[in-house]
């Protein structure tokens, strides 16, 4: 490791494992309990105590859910998508974190991919060979 | 409140001097990642004094291949540090204020 970026002491050890949100969670594919893609982790919902003045000794904010939705336009043009374009998936539905985020079985419907589904059914399906997987 | 509101925030010390930009948020998670991990808690903020973007994790892991890319990215992110949650005084996007006497910790993400 380059000495110029490693001159600081290590942070006190903490129980549990550390991971970086941008590196390990954001933009990961989410799969439902059958392994079907249901969206991308576009953001994380934090508990309300994450903002404003922080009292000394206050408990750390908690991640309460994964946020998925239509964020391409705002990533390119800036700003925030309206809440109606986002879907929050409660953290209790997270079954595993790895190269993908696996979710538990749930009755929740995932509508974040409706644009992709519409394109699949109305555009891709009309292309020769677009109705089956590549051989 | 969403985590993306923290990313890109300017980090200021108690003298209102800018010390960097939030390039990532470090989370602490207990339990098995493959078996219903517990909800992560916010451990700290990764603050870069020179850039606004994350660079593939090179600036904070011990990955060193390919060497040229790793060396360039680490040079670009030199001075990046971890500010623990206890040292955060206020979060008022687009600004995060640190407490007096805050500590700069190594931003290297250790997995051992």
Q: Cis peptide before B94, with omega less than 30 degrees from 0? A: yes
- Residue A65 near residue B3, CB atoms below 8 Å: no
Q: Report DSSP state, residue A13.
A: P
CB contact under 8 A, A96 and B37: yes
Question: Which backbone phi and psi does B83 adopt, to 5 degrees?
Answer: -105, 120
What is the percent of chain B with per-residue pLDDT over 90, rounded to a whole number? 64
Beta pairing class for B18-29 and B41-48? antiparallel
Other Cβ atoms closer than 10 A to A97? 20
User: Could you give the CA distance from residue B4 to residue A6 in angstroms, rounded to a whole number?
Assistant: 26
Say how many CA atoms lie within 13 Å of B110 toward its Cβ: 13
CATH code given to domain B3-31+39-98: 2.30.30.240
Q: Where are the domains of chain B?
A: 3-31+39-98
Give residue B6's pLDDT. Answer: 93
Task: Choose the closest CB to B27 out of A10, A63, A96.
Answer: A63
Span B9-26, mean pLDDT? 94
Domain A19-105 top-level CATH class: mainly beta
| Residues in B 25-84 with any Cβ partner in A closer than 8 A | 25-31, 33-44, 46, 54, 57, 59-60, 62, 64, 71, 74-75, 77-82, 84
User: Could you give the CA distance from residue B88 to residue B83 in angstroms, rounded to a whole number?
Assistant: 7
Per DSSP, the three-state class of A21 is helix
Give residue A2's pLDDT. Answer: 42
Question: Which backbone phi and psi does A33 adopt, to 5 degrees?
Answer: -70, -15
Give residue B60's pLDDT. Answer: 64
Give residue A6's pLDDT. Answer: 57
ipTM field: 0.88
Give residue A1's pLDDT. Answer: 41
pLDDT range class, residue B112, cuts 50, 70, 90: low
Burial of residue B15, with CB atoms counted within 10 A of its CB: 0-12 exposed, 13-18 middle, 19 or more buried = exposed
Residue A14, pLDDT > 90, answer no
Residue B111, pLDDT > 50, answer yes
- pLDDT tens per residue, range A75-134: 777 777 777 778 899 999 999 999 999 999 988 887 666 777 788 888 888 998 888 877
Give the residue from chain B lying closest to A95, CA to CA.
B36
């Amino acid at each position: 490791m380059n000495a110029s970026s490693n001159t600081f002491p290590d942070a006190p050890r903490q129980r549990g494992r550390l991971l970086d949100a941008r590196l390990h969670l954001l933009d990961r594919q989410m799969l439902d309990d059958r392994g079907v893609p249901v969206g991308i982790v576009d953001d994380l919902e934090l508990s309300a105590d994450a903002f404003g003045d922080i009292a000394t000794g206050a408990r750390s904010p908690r991640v309460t859910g994964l946020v998925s939705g239509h964020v391409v336009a705002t990533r390119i043009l800036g700003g925030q998508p309206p809440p109606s374009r986002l879907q929050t998936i409660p953290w209790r539905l997270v079954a595993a974190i790895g190269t993908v985020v696996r979710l538990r079985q749930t009755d929740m419907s995932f509508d974040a991919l409706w644009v992709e589904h519409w394109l699949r059914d109305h555009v891709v399906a009309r292309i020769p060979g677009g109705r089956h997987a590549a051989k | 409140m969403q985590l993306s509101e923290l990313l890109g925030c300017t980090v200021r010390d108690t003298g209102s001097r800018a010390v960097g930009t939030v390039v990532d948020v470090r989370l602490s998670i207990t339990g098995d990642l493959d078996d219903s991990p517990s909800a992560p808690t916010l451990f700290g903020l990764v603050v870069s004094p020179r850039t606004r973007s994350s660079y593939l994790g090179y600036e904070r892991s011990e990955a060193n291949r390919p060497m040229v890319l790793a060396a360039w990215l680490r040079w670009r992110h030199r001075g990046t540090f971890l500010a623990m949650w206890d040292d955060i005084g206020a979060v008022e996007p687009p600004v995060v204020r640190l407490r007096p006497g805050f500590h700069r910790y190594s931003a290297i993400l250790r997995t051992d």
